[in-house]
Structure 1
Amino acid sequence: MIEMQTLGVRTTQPKVSLLIDDSKTLTYPELFRYASQLALFDVRTLNASHYQQFKDVFVNQTKAISEPQFEQIASLVDFIPGSTTSQMMVALGTFSKKNALGGIVALLAYTLPGAIILTILGYLYGQYPDPRDLNILIFLAIQGIKSSTVALILQLMITLAMKSINNKLHISLSILSAALFVVYQQPYVLILTMMMGGITTIMVEYDAENTIGRRTFAKEQSATPAIFNDPKLINKKNSHKISQLLGNKSLHLYSAILLILLYLNSQQQSLILDMSLSFYNIGTFMIGGTPITLPFMYAETVLNPLYINADAFWLGFGLAAALPGPYLNFAIFLGTHSMGIYGGICCWIAIFLPSILQIWGLLPHWNNLKNNVYLQKFKEGVISVAIGFLATAVYYCWVDACKYDLPTATVISFLSLVYVSLLNFNSPAVLTLGAALFIIRYLALWYYRELDPVIF
């Protein structure tokens, strides 16, 4: 339940309350079952929204969430940094069980199926430092998957650009950031560029004559009433709330974990600590959702030779797109591939933990944040910069996919883009077709044209 203190602002229209009222409270087994089912939904494209499926289950089927509550949660997770679908699951689980533990249970049910499979695949793939040591058919299938992954990321970039690029300033920021990523591939440069993009958008697009825009927070809003002002909730059993206290504790815990990781990383030379800190920072700056993580993770892992190679990076992302659960699950693939199962679990927790703490921390403050003009403009600039970074990531993915066979990989990438954009194939089908086409191509050369193609 959201507890908001009245700020003394005037009310112009009724606002939606995020209070947990008399809606149904799910049991933990029920919550786990519903969240697990949502993880198994096919996705049509890499950026497909699960919001409708979430709404069907939690609003229409279980009646655990009211529709106004759902829309408020959806608007928040679209606004703040973090993995949108994972944060949505945490919020829905918290409201459905009416306590914070429900959010953890829902997230685990949603992410674990894909994470377990990716852990196994990452461990097995980590036994072959050189992918050319694999069975020839497996090696060819991997090249096909990476070729199709190019199309999935390109479709993701196109969709994000069509939604977010609205003027010449946004186009300019995207182009400049793409060029900058090619020249300077350090993570701190990417973060600074995103911050500068957001600040530039505020400075250029802010209308000094707009009196509403001058306000740090929009005043024409009513705060969500405190729990003791709602007679329906007084003395109600299980009337737990997402309170101001929980929100503050979550933000404090986030800061404490960050400081601890920084301290431990400065005192010890540990690859696990180093990667956990990197993934924790990536989860923090994920403004705009999963697409934004790709260039950051590429800069943090592939460009550091101690971490992971490009083959494993793009393969892991492609596999995560074809498996249940959020795409950020591929963090556990990367960690397991380079450091074993324990390292994979640490990376997986590190990249999801900021999203959990952010959604709990900001839910009580959402009424004060959602109409903030500065934050809206800042986010537009950040996403414009991130689109440029994502365009560069598409290029690097294509370069890696074409490493052994430029013509075949390029053709499969183009066909995969047609499948996902025009024919609405889902991600698992596109990646499966990519793997099959690459294998068929070489089988045809070997057995029908009696050629011996050299790909090693």
Structure 2
Amino acid sequence: MTKKKPVTFQSLLEILIVSTRLGLTSFGGPIAHLGYFHEEYVRRRKWIDEKSYADLVALCQFLPGPASSQVGIGIGLMRGGLFGGLFAFLGFTLPSVLVLILFALILQGYEVGDAGWIHGLKIVGVAVVAQAILGMAQKLTRDLPQKTIALFALTASLLSQSAYTQIGVILAAGVIGSWLFKSRNKIEDNRMTFSISKTVGYVSLALFFGLLVLLPVLRETTSLNAIAMFDSFYRSGSLVFGGGHVVLPLLEREVVPTGWLSEEAFLAGYGAAQAVPGPLFTFAAYIGAVISGWKGGLLATAAIFLPAFLLIVGTLPFWEALRRNSKISNALIGVNAAVVGILIAAFYDPIWTSSILAPIDFVFAAILFSMLVYWKLAPWIIVCTGAIGGMILSILF
């Protein structure tokens, strides 16, 4: 349990400073982020004990959205209430948001489709997503039923490429998992309490579902580009299970077919997002900035993270009951297996089909993959190597 302390300006400032430092240094993706959080919040500062931290991580695995960001928000909520959660989110997220908005504004002056370094960043995306696929497949598709669900998700995602297909796949996998994986999970009996009231939880959940229904209606009845953008990014943030990499196909299908962004610019930004610390969902800041400048970047960031914030605030008061529901626990096994299939589909299209255009591209991708997976080099080194290598390849080949 965490000890309740009065929320003061100093405590909120401390949350902001600590989370900002994490936002500036947390490279490596969501699993690495959880490791950074554990070291800082559990071992060093003792803001939360081991069992409570494990339970909070488990809760965030159940929810759509960026799990590591939700864990950070949850710790901020427990430490400093709603403002503590907001400050924890801002500190962890803003550094990469500002860098990606700046990158987008600089990039607008160039023809990104012809830039060699951009092609190199696209090949970096191949290596990074390949690593994510291997790691997730080893943990989430261990037996034949899980592998079969992943294959079903891959097939459906590629043959019917729409956001609605992905939603249907996730729901079907959850139903199958709740029936198929009985008695897989053992629910522990330790308890955890939060300072968020059930009333606040109900309001947050009502806002989450209300916006999910209302925004598409407003989009159809108005001609405001800001409403359309907010709807697209909010829906993407609401429907993603499995972390930042899985948001790629949802965002790609929201912004590329509509003409908001070219596929080259989309993949270039995705490659650049690997170079910055913090959550991969900040990729939305880059997309928004390309569409509508820095204001668009901030709007897209707010829209894609708002579902995560509302869900963690909304579910914390009810987590004690949810975590003991075996059907939910079993359904998550099926959902996680489906996430692997969706990620493989995204790996093929658009990442592979738009990046690996010649044998030398495949060789370069294999080198970057080896640097990342076998040599254990830092992600920023991989990104810099990809950009420089892309320029060299454009000159030599």
TM norm structure 2 = 0.91
Deviations 1:196-225 (A, max 9, x none): 122122233347xx9x99xxxx8x958768
CA distance 1:63–1:382, change in 2 (3 Å): closer
Amino acid aligned to 1:154: A
Which residue pairs with 2:340 in the alignment? 387
CA distance 1:442–1:319, change in 2 (3 Å): closer
Deviations 1:350-373 (A, max 9, x none): 110010111111111111111322
Q: Distance in 1 between matches of 2:189 and 2:59?
A: 16
Deviations 1:304-335 (A, max 9, x none): 14222221222222211211221110001111
1:155 CA drift (Å): 0.5
Q: Distance in 2 between matches of 1:70 and 1:177?
A: 31
Deviations 1:225-280 (A, max 9, x none): 8xxxxxxxxxxxxxx92121221121122233334423311211334322321221
Unmatched 5+ residue regions in structure 1?
1-16, 134-138, 226-239, 446-452
Amino acid aligned to 2:366: F
Q: Percent identical across equivalent pairs?
A: 26
Which residue pairs with 1:80 in the alignment? 63
3-state SS of 1:50 partner: helix
Which residue pairs with 1:148 in the alignment? 124
Q: Distance in 1 between matches of 2:303 and 2:3?
A: 29
Which residue pairs with 1:34 in the alignment? 18
Which residue pairs with 2:306 in the alignment? 353
CA distance 1:59–1:182, change in 2 (3 Å): closer
Which residue pairs with 1:415 in the alignment? 367
**Structure 1 range deviating more: 324-333 or 281-290:** 281-290
Which residue pairs with 2:112 in the alignment? 131
TM norm structure 1 = 0.80
Are the counterparts in 2 of residues 23 and 65 from structure 1 also a CA contact under 8 Å? no
Q: 2:232 aligns with which of 270, 278, 284?
A: 278
Q: Distance in 2 between matches of 1:174 and 1:191?
A: 14
Which residue pairs with 2:163 in the alignment? 187
Q: 1:111 aligns with which of 71, 87, 93?
A: 93
Q: 1:165 aligns with which of 141, 144, 148?
A: 141
Q: 2:204 aligns with which of 230, 242, 250?
A: 250
Amino acid aligned to 1:94: L
Q: Distance in 1 between matches of 2:3 and 2:26?
A: 31
Are the counterparts in 1 of residues 52 and 192 from structure 2 also a CA contact under 8 Å? no
Which residue pairs with 1:95 in the alignment? 78
Structure ID, larger Rg: 1
CA distance 1:285–1:169, change in 2 (3 Å): same
Are the counterparts in 2 of residues 50 and 85 from structure 1 also a CA contact under 8 Å? yes
Are the counterparts in 2 of residues 146 and 315 from structure 1 also a CA contact under 8 Å? yes
1:422 CA drift (Å): 0.6
Are the counterparts in 2 of residues 20 and 95 from structure 1 also a CA contact under 8 Å? no
3-state SS of 1:322 partner: coil
- Counting matched residue pairs gives 395
Are the counterparts in 1 of residues 31 and 68 from structure 2 also a CA contact under 8 Å? no
Residue 375 (str. 1) matches residue 328 (str. 2):
yes
More helix by share: 2
**Structure 1 range deviating more: 53-62 or 184-193:** 53-62
1:20 CA drift (Å): 4.1
RMSD across aligned positions (CA):
2.5
1:181 CA drift (Å): 2.0
1:146 CA drift (Å): 0.9
Which residue pairs with 1:237 in the alignment? none
